[in-house]
Structure 1
Amino acid sequence: MDMDKEQDLLKRIQAGMPGFSKGQKLIANFIINHYDKAAYMTAAKLGEEVGVSESTVVRFANEIGFDGYPKLQKVLREMNKSKLTAVQRIEVTSSRINEGNILKSVLQSDMEKIKATLEEIDQESFNNIVKSILNARKIYILGVRSSAPLASFLGFYFNLIFDNVRLVHTTSVSEMFEQIIHASRGDVVIGISFPRYSKRTINAMRFAQNQGATVVAITDSLYSPLAKNADHVITARSDMASFVDSLVAPLSVINALIVAIGMSRKPHVQETFERLEKIWDEYKVYEKQDYDSNYGEED
């Protein structure tokens, strides 16, 4: 079995799905949806996770062409390191998406990612991140490429809550380092990245940690390269919807982070929005809906 291209494994599993036993299908679906997690599980642990015996997992590895479970695990770990290219994503996901109802398929997939995130998220880690941010002298937010909208969303609301936030805008490695050069002990640096991981973000987080700053990673797995350079990690399930990164679950976690911070600083946030409402009215920031003067009134 040629394993030079990691997507061959997923394609092989997809092709064999109709002939798999019920237990093998459970294993197959888990690997397809959670190959980064499966990569670090023993055969016994994987069996326990999906509700089959260890021997069933070993037989599954043989069924798809591996001489033992460790050989399958090795390929899974290689996949976890490199993830998949955009072209490979298209090839793998084309068989997972119902082209007759793409809307339903993608929304259903996003719902499943939020559910998996809810089941796996570490509440204690989330609470520690909230405390670190509330006590930070200065907050830096890093997110590039497809994670840039997530960083921008977090930065927009944090700027309404704090006066010490810096959203790092960058198009180059040097610019990123120039903008975080003063990050040090007492500061919090939040790095956001999902497969395929940004080297710029990883290197900047490593630099910030070496400078003494508290580093927070928002990523998809505890095995993510971002997690290795972070003091606190919070994970959210991200998956491929063809060539598009599915960032619904990460955005939901970021939303929860903003709400938790806002609730902790409720009086300040309330005062800020009261002032903003006056400004928005004065400068006509938002469109006001014109209603008929008799709307809702009795004749």
Structure 2
Amino acid sequence: MSGSSPAARLQRLFEGHRLTPTQRRIAHCMVRRAADAPFLSSVELAELAGVSQPSVTRFAVALGFDGYPALRRHLREVAPAGTEPEEAGEAYNEYQQAVRAEIENLQHLCDVLADPAPVERAGRLLAGSRPLPVLGLRAASSQARGFGYFAAKVHPDVRVLDEGGSMLADRIDSARRAGATALMCFALPRHPRETVDALAYARDQGLTVVTVADSAFAPVAHHSDLLLPAAIGSGLSFDTVCAPMLLGRVLLEAMCDGLPDAQARLEEFDVRAAARGLFVE
């Protein structure tokens, strides 16, 4: 595992284990602090994740280790030579640290995309759904709207679902009756209960759910047929979401590959835009 990023190695370590919500929280915290994880004490990790110290011990046991010291020892053994705890606070201000964290998130996404199969499968599912509902509530609403804006340039019927409430299930029903076979979801912290409920309902109605979430251990994981993780930054007062946004654009590219008339639609739009003088060149 030495040839990939710390976050990617942690993701692979956690895959395949049935973790409780508390344990998923610890796993998510470790992925977000991947460079520091091999050097954190159980007390420090518990404080960062907002859980109890015994929960950290149970988490390590759930992964197959005798206890947390054994887990930490394993992480140190697989870390690249010369890896040390980050001391970025001494050299970078808080704004720079936020940027560096996003760079690491993007590097992790790059590592994940070394296997393009999940994204390619997602692209086919989204391209084949008529209509294509795109869900994103609260913090994820801008991701859903951005995806929907570009998807509508190549897909004949995109329906953005960016508001909750009692009408949300009705709009999912409407899309399903119109022929939808898949639903695209963006899910970001803090995860609204309505998003989880909407995904469960969509699957009950027979839709295949493709989700971009901040972690493979997010609450929406159990209600997604295909979950694509993209880490977020949490160093500022409000989360930064460069990796989820980029993953959304990658999915759009994969979806275009599944739409034979995508290029023709884009060219047609350019012609109409020029005729209407939409853009200032």
Aligned partner of 2:165 in structure 1 is 173
Q: Which 10-residue stretch deviates more, 120-129 or 279-288?
A: 120-129
Q: Which aligned pairs between 1:227-242 and structure 2 lie closer than 5 A?
A: 227-242=221-236
> Could you tell me whether the CA contact under 8 Å between 2:143 and 2:245 is conserved in 1?
yes
Aligned partner of 1:196 in structure 2 is 190
Which protein has the larger Cα radius of gyration, Structure 1 or Structure 2? 1
Displacement of 1:97 in angstroms is 6.0
Give 5+ residue unaligned stretches, structure 2: 1-25, 27-34, 51-55, 80-86
> Among residues 22, 26, 41, which one is paired with 2:38 in the alignment?
26
Q: Which aligned pairs between 1:216-295 and structure 2 lie closer than 5 A?
A: 216-265=210-259, 268-288=261-281
Structure 1 residues 129 and 31: CA distance shift in structure 2, 3 A: farther
Displacement of 1:187 in angstroms is 1.5
TM-score normalized by the length of structure 1 = 0.64
C-alpha distance in structure 1 between counterparts of 2:250 and 2:213, whole Å: 15
Looking at both structures, which has the greater relative contact order when contacts are Cα pairs under 8 Å and sequence separation is at least 6?
2
> Could you tell me whether the CA contact under 8 Å between 2:123 and 2:251 is conserved in 1?
yes
Structure 1 residues 257 and 50: CA distance shift in structure 2, 3 A: farther
> Among residues 119, 123, 126, which one is paired with 2:111 in the alignment?
119
Displacement of 1:24 in angstroms is 8.5
> Could you tell me whether the CA contact under 8 Å between 1:191 and 1:226 is conserved in 2?
no
The CA deviation string for residues 62-87 of structure 1, in whole angstroms up to 9 with x for no partner, is: xxxxxxxxxxxxxxxxxxxxxxxxxx
Aligned residue pairs total: 222
> Could you tell me whether the CA contact under 8 Å between 1:215 and 1:229 is conserved in 2?
yes
2:121 matches 1:128: yes
Displacement of 1:46 in angstroms is 4.8
Aligned partner of 1:75 in structure 2 is none
Give % identity: 18
C-alpha distance in structure 2 between counterparts of 1:199 and 1:280, whole Å: 40
The CA deviation string for residues 189-245 of structure 1, in whole angstroms up to 9 with x for no partner, is: 122112211211111110000111111121122221111001111100113132211
Structure 1 residues 98 and 148: CA distance shift in structure 2, 3 A: farther
Aligned partner of 2:141 in structure 1 is 148
Structure 1 residues 165 and 114: CA distance shift in structure 2, 3 A: same
C-alpha distance in structure 1 between counterparts of 2:278 and 2:98, whole Å: 34
C-alpha distance in structure 1 between counterparts of 2:189 and 2:229, whole Å: 12
RMSD (CA atoms): 3.3
| Amino acid across the alignment from 1:110 | E
| Amino acid across the alignment from 1:105 | Q
C-alpha distance in structure 1 between counterparts of 2:268 and 2:116, whole Å: 33
Displacement of 1:120 in angstroms is 4.0
Structure 1 residues 264 and 100: CA distance shift in structure 2, 3 A: same
Structure 1 residues 194 and 98: CA distance shift in structure 2, 3 A: farther
2:103 matches 1:51: no
Displacement of 1:45 in angstroms is 4.8
> Could you tell me whether the CA contact under 8 Å between 2:144 and 2:162 is conserved in 1?
no
Displacement of 1:31 in angstroms is 5.2
> Could you tell me whether the CA contact under 8 Å between 2:106 and 2:242 is conserved in 1?
yes
C-alpha distance in structure 2 between counterparts of 1:132 and 1:24, whole Å: 37
C-alpha distance in structure 2 between counterparts of 1:116 and 1:196, whole Å: 22
> Could you tell me whether the CA contact under 8 Å between 1:159 and 1:165 is conserved in 2?
yes
| Amino acid across the alignment from 2:184 | I
C-alpha distance in structure 2 between counterparts of 1:205 and 1:98, whole Å: 43
C-alpha distance in structure 2 between counterparts of 1:175 and 1:199, whole Å: 15
Aligned partner of 1:160 in structure 2 is 153
C-alpha distance in structure 2 between counterparts of 1:230 and 1:261, whole Å: 18
SS of the aligned residue for 1:190 comes to strand
C-alpha distance in structure 1 between counterparts of 2:45 and 2:249, whole Å: 29
